[in-house]
């Protein structure tokens, strides 16, 4: 994909070309998470499986922070790439790498030092502590590799090369699963083996991304003359990156708060929600991918000063998300029972009943979810990170509060209604701000 391919031509086709690899990558990640859990449970037993689940809640929070930071950096890179300023682009790559490594090392160092108190804080059962410690220590040590992969993958996305990012993700997932079998099933080093497999696969994918960029886009990687303390870029990178990281982490923390409400429903309710959220993970991948594609299109064309294409990128991206969202909603409503049985089996009728009610109800609101994803991509691509942050945070706070308030009377349906209302609030907020910005620019 050449450097001007997103600055002219058919916007609908370009958004699809960007979105499909991103979608496949999201689906691969969902499949990997399931496969990884099955391998640990199969070879290491219930205690190890449970400890990895507990550790995963912490690990995912750190990954959400780093991934959010890198997503903010991708917007800056996309704008520089669209403007044709390769000098600033290379300096931003260096600045982002420097800041990313510092943030990853600070998180790793602080959490390693306070690992035992953190495990106590989340009420880790004593019999699981040793498993969780061995797993998290290696995961934390590997956070710089996770950051490296996310940054290099962000470089690829910023220039529109989402296909290469997909290939390296697929290679990393394949390697991770193979190493899981090797370290856990053959060598037998327990949860530490699962963590080592994750870290090594992240390092492998980061190296692959770097070599690909070096060979195919040598003008984008920083050189000796690009090194230095670029104060203005540091300030911009911290603004974009940290707000994006806060948005990503607030979304995850919100999910944990909702999970706390669900945990009051007992085993059938918890099982139903767990299975339903796995299905939602696949469904949300479509909207998230569309939003990410819009973000790349908007950031490059904004950098190039193509304001008409910026508006049209939102228009066609929104229409695409609406079309896909309607299809996804129908499939969720019609196929909820069959999908739930893949996770719950046919004998757990009460959990199936709860899960079907939840999925069919929340599917009615999915058009708002996909609308919000399109807006999020647009505002992030324009650099309005605070708008995206406030939209997400408002949705999460309302969702968590209404879930806690209504769950005693409505059961799992409360989560579906609260989530739907949260999406509606978010879309209303983003629409108002879109109109405000549009009218300001028009005048």
In a domain? residue 145:
yes
Residue 101: CB atoms within 10 Å = 15
Decide: 365 and 346 in contact? Cβ < 8 Å. Answer: no
The C-alpha atoms of residue 278 and residue 270 are separated, in whole angstroms, by: 12
Asked if 249 and 224 sit in the same domain, the reply is: no
CA angle 264, 268, 273 (to 5 degrees): 75
**pLDDT at res. 413:** 92
Asked if 200 and 51 sit in the same domain, the reply is: yes
Asked if 180 and 303 sit in the same domain, the reply is: no
In sequence order, the 6+-apart residues with CB closer than 8 A to the CB of 47 are: 127, 128, 131
Residue 298: CB atoms within 10 Å = 29
Asked if 167 and 282 sit in the same domain, the reply is: no
pLDDT digits (tens, 9 = 90+) for 133-168: 888 888 888 999 999 999 999 999 999 888 898 899
CA dihedral over 56, 62, 65, 69, signed as positive or negative: negative
Decide: 70 and 241 in contact? Cβ < 8 Å. Answer: yes
The C-alpha atoms of residue 360 and residue 272 are separated, in whole angstroms, by: 13
In a domain? residue 346:
yes
Taking the whole predicted model, whether its pTM rises above 0.75 is answered as: yes
Average pLDDT over residues 410-414: 91
Final residue in a domain of this structure, among 228, 258, 273 = 228
Decide: 147 and 100 in contact? Cβ < 8 Å. Answer: yes
Share of the chain above pLDDT 90, in %: 48
Final residue in a domain of this structure, among 228, 263, 294 = 228
**pLDDT at res. 374:** 96
Q: Specify the range with the lowest mean pLDDT, choosing from 40-44, 138-142, 201-205.
A: 40-44
Asked if 96 and 133 sit in the same domain, the reply is: yes
Average pLDDT over residues 170-178: 89
pLDDT digits (tens, 9 = 90+) for 339-366: 888 777 665 788 888 889 999 999 999 9
Decide: 110 and 80 in contact? Cβ < 8 Å. Answer: no
For residue 188, count CB atoms less than 10 angstroms from its CB and return exposed for 0-12, middle for 13-18, buried for 19 or more: exposed
Q: What is the DSSP letter of 4?
A: T
With tokens 């193979």, the residue in question is 178
In a domain? residue 235:
no
Looking at per-residue pLDDT, the higher value among 323 and 180 belongs to 323
**Is residue 50's pLDDT more than 70?**
no
The C-alpha atoms of residue 192 and residue 133 are separated, in whole angstroms, by: 9
In a domain? residue 352:
yes
Asked if 106 and 216 sit in the same domain, the reply is: yes
The C-alpha atoms of residue 236 and residue 226 are separated, in whole angstroms, by: 17
Asked if 171 and 265 sit in the same domain, the reply is: no
**Is residue 56's pLDDT more than 80?**
no
Asked if 290 and 220 sit in the same domain, the reply is: no
Instruction: Retrieve residue 27's tokens.
Output: 């689906």
**pLDDT at res. 98:** 94
Asked if 152 and 287 sit in the same domain, the reply is: no
When pLDDT is cut at 50, 70 and 90, the band that residue 33 belongs to is: low
Print the domain residue range for 91: 9-228
pLDDT digits (tens, 9 = 90+) for 245-293: 988 888 878 877 887 788 788 778 878 887 888 888 888 989 999 999 9
In a domain? residue 300:
yes
In a domain? residue 38:
yes
Looking at the structure of the chain, the number of domains it has is 2
Final residue in a domain of this structure, among 199, 228, 257 = 228
Asked if 440 and 309 sit in the same domain, the reply is: yes
In a domain? residue 155:
yes
Asked if 185 and 290 sit in the same domain, the reply is: no
Asked if 70 and 174 sit in the same domain, the reply is: yes
Q: What is the DSSP letter of 345?
A: -
In a domain? residue 339:
yes
Mean pLDDT of the chain: 87
Looking at per-residue pLDDT, the higher value among 114 and 374 belongs to 374
The DSSP result for 369-424, as a single string, is HHHHHHHHHHHHHHT-HHHHHHHHHHHHHHHHHHHHHHHHHHTHHHHHHHHHHHHH
**Is residue 3's pLDDT more than 50?**
no
């Amino acid at each position: 994909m050449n450097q001007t391919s997103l600055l002219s031509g058919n916007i609908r086709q370009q958004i699809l070309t960007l979105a499909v690899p991103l979608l496949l990558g999201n689906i691969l990640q969902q499949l990997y998470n399931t496969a990884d859990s099955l391998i640990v449970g199969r070879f290491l037993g219930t205690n190890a499986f449970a400890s990895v689940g507990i550790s995963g809640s912490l690990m995912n929070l750190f990954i959400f922070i780093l991934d959010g930071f890198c997503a903010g950096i991708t917007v800056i890179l996309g704008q520089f790439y669209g403007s044709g300023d390769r000098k600033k682009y290379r300096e931003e790559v260096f600045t982002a790498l420097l800041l990313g490594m510092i943030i990853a090392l600070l998180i790793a160092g602080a959490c390693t030092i306070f690992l035992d108190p953190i495990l106590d804080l989340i009420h880790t059962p004593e019999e699981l502590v040793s498993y969780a410690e061995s797993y998290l220590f290696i995961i934390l040590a590997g956070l710089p590799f996770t950051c490296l992969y996310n940054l290099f993958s962000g470089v690829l996305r910023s220039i529109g090369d989402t296909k290469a990012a997909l290939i390296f993700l697929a290679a990393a997932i394949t390697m991770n699963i193979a190493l899981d079998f090797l370290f856990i099933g053959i060598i037998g080093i327990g949860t530490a083996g699962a963590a080592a497999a994750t870290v090594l696969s992240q390092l492998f994918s980061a190296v692959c991304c770097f070599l690909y960029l070096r060979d195919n886009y040598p003008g984008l990687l920083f050189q000796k003359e690009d090194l230095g303390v670029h104060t203005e870029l540091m300030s911009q990178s911290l603004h974009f990156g940290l707000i994006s990281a806060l948005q990503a982490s607030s979304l995850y923390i919100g999910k944990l708060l909702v999970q706390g409400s669900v945990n009051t429903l007992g085993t059938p309710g918890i099982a139903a929600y767990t299975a339903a959220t796995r299905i939602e993970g696949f469904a949300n991948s479509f909207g998230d991918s569309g939003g990410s594609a819009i973000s790349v299109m908007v950031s490059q064309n904004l950098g190039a000063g193509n304001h008409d294409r910026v508006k049209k990128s939102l228009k066609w991206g929104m229409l695409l998300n609406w079309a896909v969202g309607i299809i996804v909603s129908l499939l969720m409503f019609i196929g909820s029972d069959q999908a739930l049985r893949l996770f719950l089996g046919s004998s757990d009728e009460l959990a199936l009943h709860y899960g079907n009610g939840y999925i069919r109800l929340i599917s009615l609101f999915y058009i708002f979810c996909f609308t919000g994803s399109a807006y999020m991509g647009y505002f992030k691509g324009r650099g309005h990170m605070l708008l995206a942050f406030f939209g997400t945070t408002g949705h999460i706070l309302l969702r968590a509060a209404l879930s806690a308030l209504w769950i005693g009377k409505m059961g799992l349906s409360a989560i579906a209604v609260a989530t739907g209302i949260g999406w509606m609030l978010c879309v209303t907020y983003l629409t108002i701000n879109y109109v405000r910005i549009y009218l300001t620019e028009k005048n």
